[in-house]
Amino acid sequence: MKDILILGIESSCDETAASVVKNGRTVLSNIISSQIELHKLYGGVVPEIASRKHIEKINQVIQQALDEAGVTLDDLDAIGVTYGPGLVGALLVGVAEAKAIAYAKKLPLVGVHHIEGHVSANYIEHPDLEPPFLCLIVSGGHTHLVIVKDYGKFQILGRTRDDAAGEAFDKVARAIGLGYPGGPKIDKLSKEGNPHAIEFPRAKIGDCPYDFSFSGVKSAVLNYLNHAQMTGQDVNRADLAASFQNAVVDVLVEHTMLAARDYGMKKIAIAGGVASNGTLRVAMDEACQKRDYKFYCPSPIFCTDNGAMIGTAAYYEYLKGTRHGWDLNAVPNLKLGER
Ligand code: KG4
Ligand code: ZN
Is 50 exceeded by the pLDDT of residue 238?
yes
Return the top range by mean pLDDT from 30-44, 81-95, 206-220: 81-95
58-91 pLDDT tens trace: 999 999 999 999 999 999 999 999 999 999 999 9
What pLDDT is recorded for position 204? Answer: 77
Comparing CA positions, the residue from 202, 269, 189 lying closest to residue 236 is 189
What whole-number distance in Å separates Cα of residue 247 and Cα of residue 233? 23
What pLDDT is recorded for position 207? Answer: 85
Q: Is the CB of 163 under 6 A from ligand 1?
A: no
Q: Is the CB of 276 under 6 A from ligand 1?
A: yes
1 band by pLDDT with thresholds 50, 70 and 90: confident
Instruction: State mean pLDDT over 311-326.
Output: 98
Comparing CA positions, the residue from 103, 118, 107 lying closest to residue 79 is 107
Helix (H) or strand (E) holding 257: helix 237-263
What whole-number distance in Å separates Cα of residue 238 and Cα of residue 285? 24
Give me ligand 1 centre to Cα 179, in Å.
Answer: 13
Q: Integer distance in angstroms from the first to the last C-alpha of the chain?
A: 29
Instruction: State mean pLDDT over 114-125.
Output: 98
Number of the ligand 1 atom closest to the C-alpha atom of 165: 12
Q: Is the CB of 117 under 6 A from ligand 1?
A: no
What's the mean pLDDT when you consider all of the chain? 96
What whole-number distance in Å separates Cα of residue 275 and Cα of residue 119? 11
Instruction: State mean pLDDT over 284-304.
Output: 98
- Determine how many CB atoms are found less than 10 A away from the CB of residue 147: 18
Number of the ligand 1 atom closest to the C-alpha atom of 245: 23
Is 90 exceeded by the pLDDT of residue 181?
no
Give me ligand 1 centre to Cα 172, in Å.
Answer: 13
What whole-number distance in Å separates Cα of residue 329 and Cα of residue 312? 21
85-117 pLDDT tens trace: 999 999 999 999 999 999 999 999 999 999 999
126 band by pLDDT with thresholds 50, 70 and 90: very high
Q: Is the CB of 170 under 6 A from ligand 1?
A: yes
Q: Is the distance from CB of 331 to CB of 92 less than 8 angstroms?
A: no
Instruction: State mean pLDDT over 311-333.
Output: 98
Comparing CA positions, the residue from 2, 103, 4, 1 lying closest to residue 320 is 4
What pLDDT is recorded for position 339? Answer: 44
Considering only CA atoms, which residue is closest to atom 8 of ligand 1? Answer: 273
Residue 197: CB partners within 8 Å, gap ≥ 6?
Answer: 236, 239, 240, 242, 243
Is 60 exceeded by the pLDDT of residue 191?
yes
What pLDDT is recorded for position 137? Answer: 98
Q: Is the distance from CB of 18 to CB of 332 less than 8 angstroms?
A: no
Comparing CA positions, the residue from 174, 30, 10 lying closest to residue 81 is 10
- Determine how many CB atoms are found less than 10 A away from the CB of residue 42: 10
What whole-number distance in Å separates Cα of residue 221 and Cα of residue 85? 29
Comparing CA positions, the residue from 106, 77, 134, 139 lying closest to residue 302 is 139
6-32 pLDDT tens trace: 999 999 999 999 999 999 999 999 999
Give me ligand 2 centre to Cα 230, in Å.
Answer: 38
Considering only CA atoms, which residue is closest to atom 2 of ligand 1? Answer: 273
Q: Is the CB of 111 under 6 A from ligand 1?
A: no
Ligand showing the shortest atom-to-Cα distance for residue 140: 1
Q: Is the distance from CB of 270 to CB of 126 less than 8 angstroms?
A: no
135-167 pLDDT tens trace: 999 999 999 999 999 999 999 999 999 999 999
**Residue 18 pairs with which residues in a beta bridge?**
9, 31
What whole-number distance in Å separates Cα of residue 148 and Cα of residue 131? 6
What pLDDT is recorded for position 206? Answer: 78
Is 90 exceeded by the pLDDT of residue 198?
yes
What whole-number distance in Å separates Cα of residue 294 and Cα of residue 193? 30
Ligand 1 mutation pick, 139, 171, 172, max ligand atoms within 8 A of CB: 139
Is 50 exceeded by the pLDDT of residue 267?
yes
